[in-house]
Amino acid sequence: PSPAGAAPPKPQLRPLPAKLPAGLRRNTGVRPVALTFDDGPSPAWTPKVLDQLRAARVTATFCVVGREVQRHPELVRRIVREGHQLCNHSWRHDLDLARRPVAEIRADLARTNRAIQAAAPGAPVAFYRQPGGRWTPEVLGVAKELGMLPLHWAVDPQDWDKPTAATIAKRVHNAARPGSIVLLHDGGGDRAATLAACPHLIADLKHRFGIARLR
C-alpha cells in the first residue's frame, strides 16, 4: 500500500508506433510548397520572420505554442492580420503529449485553442502539429475531433539544431519537391540562422515551385 497522502502513480505512456500513422498532411496537394514556422510566437524572432514574409509577398502557417500565445497575444493578432494561418502546436511543446491519456491530450489541445481564440477572436485554427512529429493514432483522433487536420511536413532542415544559414538553405533546396510542406522555426531558441536563411530559401522556393497557403 502507498503511504497516506502519496500521489497516485502516473499512467504509463503509450509506446510510439513504429511508423507514422496514416492520415497526416505531408504535402500541399498542388505544385506550390507551403512554409510552416513552429514554436512561437517569439518577440525576438516572429516579427522579423513576418517582415521577411511580407517583403517576399508570401504567406505561411504558424504552429503556435499555447503558453507563448498567452504571453504574446499581440503577435498572434499580427500573424492573422497579415494573412497567415494558425496551427495548434500544443500548450507547452510536450514531446510525449501524444503518448498520454486521451483526456489529457484533449485538455491540452483545447486549452491551446482557447488561448488562440482569446488572442485573436474568430481566427480559424485549421491544423494541429504534434511536437517532434511524434504522432500516435490517439492524438490524431483528438485533433480531428476538435476540427483540426493533423499537419506534418516533407522537408525538415533541422534548423533547431543550430546549423548555419547556408546549411539550412541548402537542405531545403535539396529536399524540396512540388507540394512540399517545409518545417522551420520562429521560436524555441535562437533563430538567427533561420532568419538569415529565409530570404534565399524563400526566393528559391518561389522561383522553383511557388509558395501557397495550405488548403
> Would the pLDDT of 7 be above 80?
no
User: Which of 84, 89, 93, 185 is an active site residue?
Assistant: 185
pLDDT at site 5: 62
Is 1 within the bounds of a domain? no
Q: Could you confirm whether 200 is annotated as catalytic?
A: no
Give the model confidence (pLDDT) of 153-204 as tens digits.
999 999 999 999 999 999 999 999 999 999 999 999 999 999 999 999 999 9
What letter would DSSP give residue 198? Answer: H
Is 187 within the bounds of a domain? yes
Q: What is the domain extent for residue 123?
A: 34-209
Is 160 within the bounds of a domain? yes
Q: Specify the CATH number for the domain of residue 130.
A: 3.20.20.370
Q: Could you confirm whether 38 is annotated as catalytic?
A: yes
Is 190 within the bounds of a domain? yes
pLDDT at site 132: 97
- Here the cell at position 30 is 498542388
Output the pTM of the full model: 0.94
User: Which of 38, 108, 159, 186 is an active site residue?
Assistant: 38
Residue 115 CB partners (closer than 8 Å, separation 6+): 66, 67, 69, 70, 91
pLDDT at site 58: 98
| Total number of domains constituting the chain | 1
